[in-house]
Structure 1
């Protein structure tokens, strides 16, 4: 979903916000590969604890981009 938002921000002439959003997606993917894909049941809480802050920051970046 954040990829779609990054594309929308690029189309809305907000390239810096889109780059920030893409930068926040990289750690999410890393933690997904490291924890969630190995054993989803065992590492669910650890994945949520590691990746959730980056997701929330992505939501905030998108909200800030749309508020200007």
Structure 2
């Protein structure tokens, strides 16, 4: 799955960094900002139907889950 860190602008997601994770559980191993996560938003973003977001402060971590066939 792809992890995308972006600024918290819904209309214009500016990608700051992207990296691969083995599983969803790896998020908390990889993120140093885990303690400051304030909200988990699983709503779908326009044009990114499989992107879930974890919001903290002015940043968003996007979890892009690929559709299983």
Same fold (TM over 0.5): no
Q: Give the TM-score of the pair, scaled to structure 2.
A: 0.25
**Structure richer in helix, relative to its length:** 1
Which is greater in Rg?
Answer: 1
